[in-house]
Structure formats: C-alpha cells, structure tokens
Amino acid sequence: MRIGLVCPYTWDVPGGVQEHVRGLADALIDLGHYASVIAPANEDELIEPRYVVPAGRAVPVPYNGSVARLAFGFLSASRVRRWLKEGDFDVVHVHEPTAPSLSLLACWVFDGPLVATVHTAMPRSRVLHVSAPILQSALEKISGRIAVSEAARTTLVEHLGGDAVLIPNGVSVHRFEKADPLPGWPGDGGTLGFLGRIDEPRKGLSVLLEAFTLLAAERPGLRLLVAGPGDADEALEQVPPALRDRVVLLGQVSDEDKVRVYHSVDVFCAPNTGGESFGIVLAEAMAAGAPIVASDLDAFRRVLRAGRAGELFQNGNAADLAAAAARLLDDPVRRATFAEAALVAVRDYDWQVVARDVLRVYQAVAPAAGRVAAAVL
C-alpha cells in the first residue's frame, strides 16, 4: 500500500506525536509498504529519516492555552497539495486532526480514503468547543478514526461526535534494546531512575523523592537519576539538604540520551499516581531491559503481567515503593529475571504488532488497495 502520514508538529522537536508517527512509518516500511511523512521542518537542513518531506518552518502561536509550533496558511496548504499529488497515496493518515496545522489542511485538500488518529485528551476543551463547526466539514471526510487511549476517544466523541477505534501507542523495541550508559552511571552504590515531567503531580516524582529519602538514609552510595522537563529547584526542595547532591536532574534530554538513561539505572521507577492509560515510558524501559518498579495502576498491572515482569507497589505509598526498590537493589538475580520477563512482555506493544492493527484500519477504508495488504496480514 502507498501510505501518506501527516504530522502536525515540528519534526525536530521531541514529542509523543512525532515519535508515534516515526515508529508507525518505520514499521509500515518494514512490513513492505511505501510510507511518506509530511511534517513542519526547515527545508535547508537535512532531515532524518529520508521518508520525511519538509513542509516549511512551523510558527510559534498561542493555541489551547500554551504556545504551539504549527504550520498553516496558503503556503503550507500548497505544500501539502503537492505532496499528495506526488505521493499518489492509497490512504492518507493524519495525526491530531483537530490541531490547526498540516493534518487539518490535509483533510481539507485530500479527496480519498482518510484515516485520523487522535492523541491528546482535552476534557471540556474550549478550543474544540468553539472550533467544532469549522472542523466539522474537514473532519467529516475522515472514514476511519483511531484513538490512542480511552481518554482521547472520550474527548473526540464529546466534542465532535462519532466514534473511534482504540489502538494503543507502539514502542520501537529495537531502538531501546542497546545503548551505552551515561558516563559514570549507574555506579557502585546503586541507582534509581525516573523519566517524565518533574512538575506534573500525576507522574509521581514526589512519591519517588520521598521513597529515595527513606532508602538513602541506609544506603550511602545510592543515587537518583531524573530526566524530564520542569522546575529542578522545586523538586530538590522535597529532599533533605544532605541528600541533594545524590539527586541528579538532567532536565529535558534528547532521544538518544533518553535511551541511555534507561541503560544507566539499576532500577527504573514509574511512580505515576494516575491518568496513564498506557505507560509508554514504562514500555520503553521494558524494551531497554531495565528492572522496573511501578505503581499498581490497572494499566501498569496489565503491561507488567500482574507483577511477573516488574515489581508493583501500592499507588502513592512511598514506604511501599522504597521496600519494592530495595528488594530489587539487593538481588541481582531478581533484577535479571524481571528484565528478561519484561523483554518478552513488551513484544505485544512493539510497533511491528501495533502497525498490523493500523493496517487493518487502512484496509477497512480502502478495501481495493487493501487487498494487497491482506497478503501481509
């Protein structure tokens, strides 16, 4: 099949949607299909991978309560038109179609089988409420709608009506399998790791900091490695001053360094207190072979095979987290067993598997072109 993928956000800025589009495109190509991605990007620079077609620079504009980098206007529309013409696609798959960027333009311009994936949950969104009538004429061309989480599906149904099929995010397992640890890590005294926004309460860093304080008192060499954007000083204030030099905050890290972070820790912690329908960070850590301690949210419990592929602790309970982490820190055999089980479990979430479900959607909206794809399924 010839598949055109539209990414609304700047390609060179790390983000969940960009990562999703990249993982999907790679998997579709691996499965023997032709895929091309159009995304906002500067044409002068070399863009990796080669299947990405730049649609010009994105402009920072206020949208939905924050500043987003988006591409819109007649120039972008004509770039999309040209890409569609040259691509001669069987299916065009737009991502985040409600964002005022390339995806919406593609819906507007393209006459053919359209698939859309909704990523973000925006409960009671004012933006969507106001723009629903404008969006309607472009969105009613979409034949197949996908949501990556139940929350995203609810948002879509609430504001724009209709329904969507739930296909979760995938993980490019092979990209996480091998990497060198960051210099000096994990060290001899043991290292706990965390990845995610540090000032987002639902990511649960506070619970981990409290547990670290409990553990560090008895373990003089123990350190904590934290990667993710947010206010570092505010986070450090939650740890006693004597322990602060043992907490290292890297801030926002590149894609490459993110993989290295997973390989730099003895125990990876996912202390999320809620709101995660599917733990992408958790799945990445599993793919990297990191031993995991995670809160016992329903989604985490399922991903970790009810505790066979990682330690579960009582959500929000720092003492329980400290105990679970200690069990792993003290027992290399247990760590290895969990890491091995996690590598097996994470295969269900590999893009190679998830992309087959997405191909079924393409087949449902473009049955004629899908006959070729059926051979692959």
Partner 1 sequence: MTAVTSLVVIIVLALIGVYVSWRAGRLDRLHARLEAARFALDAALVRRSSVALELASSGLLDPATSVLLADSAHEARAARAARELPESDLTRALRAVFGQPEFRASLSGMQDAVELLAELEGAAHQVFLARKFYNDAVAATQAARRRWLARALRLAGNAAMPEFFDIDDSLLPAGEEDQEADMPHLTS
Near partner 1 by CB under 8 A: residue from 30, 45, 137, 221: 137
When binding is defined by CB under 8 A, the residue of 36, 98, 101, 149 that contacts partner 1 is 149
Binders of partner 1 among residues 168 to 187 (CB under 8 A) are 168
The sign of the torsion formed by the CA atoms of 201, 204, 205, 206 equals positive
Q: How many CB atoms lie within 10 A of CB 332?
A: 11
- Identified binder of partner 1 from the candidate list 44, 50, 133, 163, rule CB under 8 A: 163
CB of 66 vs partner 1, minimal distance in Å? 27
Contacts of 78 (CB under 8 A, 6+ apart): none
What CA–CA distance (Å, rounded) separates 320 from 313? 6
Per the DSSP assignment, residues forming a β-bridge with 53 are 38
Quote the least distance from Cβ 281 to partner 1, whole Å: 15
Is 154 among the residues that bind partner 1 (CB under 8 A)? no
- The residue from 145, 159, 203, 335 that contacts partner 1 (CB under 8 A) is 145
Q: Which of 30, 88, 140, 245 binds partner 1 (CB under 8 A)?
A: 140
Among 143, 238, 273, 337, binds partner 1 (CB under 8 A): 143
Q: Is 364 in the site for partner 1 (CB under 8 A)?
A: yes
Q: Identify which of residues 105 and 198 has a Cβ nearer to partner 1 in the complex.
A: 105
225 close to 290: Cβ distance less than 8 angstroms: no
Identified binder of partner 1 from the candidate list 113, 190, 196, 310, rule CB under 8 A: 113
Task: Pick the binder of partner 1 from 127, 132, 167, 248 (CB under 8 A).
Answer: 167
Q: Which is nearer to partner 1, 168 or 228 (CB)?
A: 168
Under rule CB under 8 A, how many of the chain's residues touch partner 1?
A: 32
- Work out how close the CB of 2 gets to partner 1 at its nearest, in angstroms, rounded to a whole number: 18
Q: CA–CA separation, 289 vs 343, rounded Å?
A: 6
367 binds partner 1 per the rule CB under 8 A: yes
Q: Is 37 left (phi over 0), alpha (psi -120 to 50) or beta?
A: beta
Q: Determine what percent of the chain falls in helix, strand and coil, rounding each to the nearest 5.
A: 45, 20, 35
Considering the rule CB under 8 A, would residue 278 count as an interface residue with partner 1?
yes
- What's the token pair of residue 197? 């926004």
What CA–CA distance (Å, rounded) separates 110 from 49? 24
The least CB distance from residue 351 to partner 1, in Å, is 14
Q: Indicate the DSSP class of residue 256.
A: H
The smaller minimum CB distance to partner 1, of residues 149 and 264, is found at 149
Instruction: Give the residue from 220, 324, 335 showing the smallest Cα distance to 270.
Output: 324
Helices (H), the chain: 16-30, 73-87, 102-109, 126-139, 150-160, 173-177, 205-218, 232-236, 255-262, 280-287, 298-303, 318-329, 332-345, 351-365, 367-376
Can you tell me the distance from the alpha carbon of 209 to that of 247, in angstroms, rounded to the nearest whole number? 9
Contact window for partner 1 (CB under 8 A) among 122-130, 218-226, 232-240, 295-303 = 295-303
CB of 283 or CB of 292, closer to partner 1: 283
Does the protein bind partner 1 through residue 162 (CB under 8 A)?
A: yes
List 10, 18, 36, 277, residue binding partner 1 (CB under 8 A): 277
Specify the residue, 10 or 155, whose C-beta has the smaller distance to partner 1.
155
Rounded (10°) angle between helices 332-345 and 280-287: 110
Q: Which residues here bind partner 1, judged by CB under 8 A?
A: 111, 113, 137, 140-141, 143-145, 149-150, 161-163, 165-168, 277-278, 298-299, 302, 348, 353, 357, 360-361, 363-365, 367, 377
